[in-house]
Amino acid sequence: MPCAIRPHNDEDALRQAADILQAGGVVGVPTETVYGLAGRADLPEGVARIYQTKGRPQFNPLIAHVDSLERARALIVFSPMMVRLADAFWPGPLTLVGPKRDDAQVCDLVTAGLDTLAVRWPRSSAICALVKALDCPLAAPSANPSGTISPTTAQHVGEGFGDALALVLDGGTCPVGLESTILAVEGDEVTLLRPGGLDRAQIEAITGPLKAAGEGGAPRAPGMLKSHYAPSVAMRLNAQHPRPGEAYLAFGQSPDNFTGPMINLSPTQNLVEAASTLFASLKALDRHGLTISVAPIPFDGLGEAINDRLIRAAAPKEIL
Please give the residue ranges that form the binding site for ligand TXA (CB under 6 A): 31, 33-34, 36, 60-63, 95, 97, 111, 114, 116-118, 120, 122, 140-142, 179-180, 182, 193-194, 219, 221-224
CB nearer Mg ion, residue 25 or residue 147: 147
CB nearer ligand TXA, residue 131 or residue 239: 131
Helical axes 200-207 vs 80-89, angle rounded to 10°: 140
**Residue 162 DSSP code:** G
Number of residues written out for the chain: 320
Shortest approach of ligand TXA to residue 139 CB, angstroms?
A: 9
CB nearer ligand TXA, residue 214 or residue 296: 214
How many residues form the binding site for Mg ion (CB under 5 A)? 1
Q: Which residue is nearest to ligand TXA (CB)?
A: 223
Shortest approach of ligand TXA to residue 111 CB, angstroms?
A: 6
Strands lying side by side in the sheet with 167-170: 4-7, 167-170, 27-29, 36-40, 138-139, 63-65, 116-120, 94-99, 181-186, 189-194, 211-212
Residue 270: how many CB atoms within 10 A of its CB? Answer: 15
Residue 66: how many CB atoms within 10 A of its CB? Answer: 27
State yes or no: residue 142 binds Mg ion (CB under 5 A).
yes
Residue ranges in 23-134 assigned as alpha helix (H): 44-54, 69-73, 80-89, 108-111, 125-134
CB nearer ligand TXA, residue 239 or residue 275: 275
CB nearer Mg ion, residue 142 or residue 180: 142
Question: With CB cut-offs between 5 and 8 Å by kind, which of ligand TXA, Mg ion, none does residue 97 bind?
Answer: ligand TXA
Q: Of 320, 301, 285, give the one whose Cα is nearest residue 202.
A: 301
Q: Site residues (CB under 5 A) for Mg ion?
A: 142
